[in-house]
Structure formats: structure tokens, C-alpha cells
Structure 1
Amino acid sequence: MTTTLTEQQLAFTFADGVEPSQYDEWSFYRNQFNAVCGGTKAIDFVCLDGDHLWLIEVKDYRRHRRTKLVDLGDEVAGKVRDTLAGLVAASCNANEAEEQRMARQALGRSRLRVVLHLEQPRNPSRLFPRAVDPDDVLLKLKQRLKAVDSHPRVVDQSTLDADMPWTVAGVAR
């Protein structure tokens, strides 16, 4: 059975046999881990697929410009770091059995993949320019995350790779 999760104006449909979860909505993250060390950040989705743990961050700048001053690559790298730490803590201390089980399963995977799903205006204009250069973000992610995933990916709806066990469609507002 497929699972569909929505983030911003995008619906992610995961293939049969794949176990996705909206990590930033976990009770453990929100109620226990978020305040650790003065605050943490979270990746949008964790996804278990065979021997792979996919960490997926979603950014949709088609309707709203990026307003944060921090570099997008640095922001995503920090979320990856905090999410991995959160999964370790959840595997031991999560109050919800399902979150603890998923964290333990995630940590047992032998392959870790990081994906930034980045949607931007197809036809940039002055009103809706491209928020970031995907190639610049990819280079920053490779530099920051080489010990985690030496081949992170920056994709959008039209550039998903065949080995990614999900599809993405826009959601009507």
C-alpha cells in the first residue's frame, strides 16, 4: 500500500514496502528533543527503504521567496545533523513505541541518503525570482555532509531519480 505525506504544497507518494514518516511532527521531536542544547531543527521526512535511510528536506519557493539569511546548504546540513542526533535519542527515549521502533530501524540501515527537494518558479521573474542556485546548494551539501552522504541530491518534481521510491505532485490550494 502506498503512503502519501504532504509538505507545503507538495504531496509525496511513497512506493509499496517503503516506510516514510514526517519526522518533524514526531511527538518525541516536538515535546522532548526540540529544546535540547537550546533548540534543534528537523528534516521533514525520514524514509526507510530496504537498506536505505532517506532524509528528505522540502523547500517550496514557487509562491514565496526565501527570507532566511542563513545559507540553504548550511540550514539543511544542520537539520541533517540534528535529525540524526534525534533518531539516536528517540531509539532509546521516545515515549511512543512506534517512534522508538522507527528510530531503531532507521539507525540499523546500512545506507544513508540526503535529499533536498527544492521547488522554484519554472519561469523566474522579478516578482518570483529563483531563490537559490541548486548547483551552489548541492556543492555546499557535498562539503558539509561528506561524512554522512558523499552524494547528496537536490531535486524537484521533474528531476527525481529512478532509485528514489517516491513521486511528487503539487497540491491544489
Structure 2
Amino acid sequence: MAVIEQTIQEGLLTFDFPLGALSSKYDEWAHYRRQFNKSFGGTKAVDIIFADNAVGWLIEIKDYRAHSRTKAIDLADEIAAKVRDTLAGLVSANISANDADEKNLASRLLLCTRLRVVLHIEQPATQSKLRPTAIDPAAVLLKLKGRVKSVDPYPCVVDQNSLKNAMSWTVQG
């Protein structure tokens, strides 16, 4: 697995980052899986990390088009835990990752002067009694703002059709 990727596949979604981007599937890092996670008896991780100039992006992806949400934990609480644990994992990787690319990318993200938190969520196009809208994005955003405000006072909840101008990537799928 390449640590730095310009195209990242997550389930049915394809994330395309700019040429020369520093982006990676953090939850697949050897440091996260073999060193950090095992040391603490289990931690959480965001799906993608991305360094874009002075901004570090922590991106969590949820795709409810095929399967409804079944976890009992509140979605905003789940994302906040993943952000917290990812930041701790990046500090650990910066110091002790065995993979030089992971160590370098962790260092680059920790040098960013701003961190952004993104929940990318895809939902069924049509509502039905069997598959109603899984999540109210506005309600999740409100809760998420309270949970991650010390990291990012303006987190984003987006889908592939509502990416913000500051997000220099595209999503298809």
C-alpha cells in the first residue's frame, strides 16, 4: 500500500486529491494498526488524512446508501473520538513510526497551522419506510461543532455534491 495517494478508494467512493497531494488512508497505516492501536487496547481512526499547504484535513466517510446506520453511539460522538485518537496517533507516528513515509506524513500534518474536520456522508437518494434518511446533516453538524471545537470550530458535513470551495478534492461514486 502506498502511504501517499492521490486517488483513494473508500467503499464505493473515489476521492481524487490534487497532483502532489499529501493524502493517505490513515486507518490502514502500519503504525496505526500494528503499533499505536495495539498499545492502547483499541483506538479509533479517521479514514483519510490530507495536508493541503498549511491546512490539515481529517476526513471520516460514512456511506449509508447500501446499509443503514446500526451503531448505538451518537454519530458526532463517534467522529469526535476518531478525531481525538487520530491526532494522538499522528503524534505517536511522528515520534516512533517504523515506516518513514508514515512518519514524514504525520510530521507534515502536525506542522499545519489549521486542522479541519470533515464528515463525508452519503445517504439513499430516495426515502422509504425501509430506508428513511439515515442522518440529519444539520443536526450532526450542530453536535459535531460542540464536540470538536477545540480542534476545528467550523467542522463540515458534506456529500459528494456539496463539497466546500476550500476542499481541493473531488469525490465520485
Counterpart residue type for residue 74 of structure 2: D
RMSD: 1.0
Give the superposition deviation at 1:36: 3.2
> Which residue of the partner structure matches residue 74 of structure 1?
77
Give the superposition deviation at 1:18: 2.0
1: CA distance, partners of 2:98 / 2:121: 33
> Which residue of the partner structure matches residue 95 of structure 1?
98
5+ long unaligned stretches in structure 1 = none
Does 2:46 align with 1:43? Answer: yes
- Equivalent residues in 2 for 1:122-161 (5 A)? 122-161=125-164
Of all paired residues, the percent bearing the same amino acid is 56
Does 2:100 align with 1:84? Answer: no
Tell me the matched-pair count. Answer: 169
TM-score, length basis structure 1: 0.95
3-state SS of paired residue (1:85): helix
Does 2:117 align with 1:114? Answer: yes
Does 2:4 align with 1:6? Answer: no
TM-score, length basis structure 2: 0.95
1: CA distance, partners of 2:139 / 2:38: 31
- Contact 1:33 1:86 (C-alpha < 8 Å) held by counterparts: yes
Q: Deviations over 1:88-138 (max 9, x none)?
A: 000001000000011011100101000000000121111221111111110
Task: List structure 1 segments (4+ residues) > 6 angstroms apart after TM superposition.
Answer: none
3-state SS of paired residue (2:116): strand
Give the superposition deviation at 1:75: 0.2
1: CA distance, partners of 2:136 / 2:100: 41
- Contact 2:58 2:83 (C-alpha < 8 Å) held by counterparts: yes
Match of 1:17 among 14, 17, 20: 20
- Contact 2:31 2:93 (C-alpha < 8 Å) held by counterparts: yes
- Contact 1:41 1:78 (C-alpha < 8 Å) held by counterparts: yes
3-state SS of paired residue (1:168): strand
- Contact 1:57 1:76 (C-alpha < 8 Å) held by counterparts: yes
> Which residue of the partner structure matches residue 57 of structure 1?
60
5+ long unaligned stretches in structure 2 = none
2: CA distance, partners of 1:130 / 1:38: 34
1: CA distance, partners of 2:11 / 2:120: 11
2: CA distance, partners of 1:137 / 1:148: 17
1: CA distance, partners of 2:49 / 2:155: 15
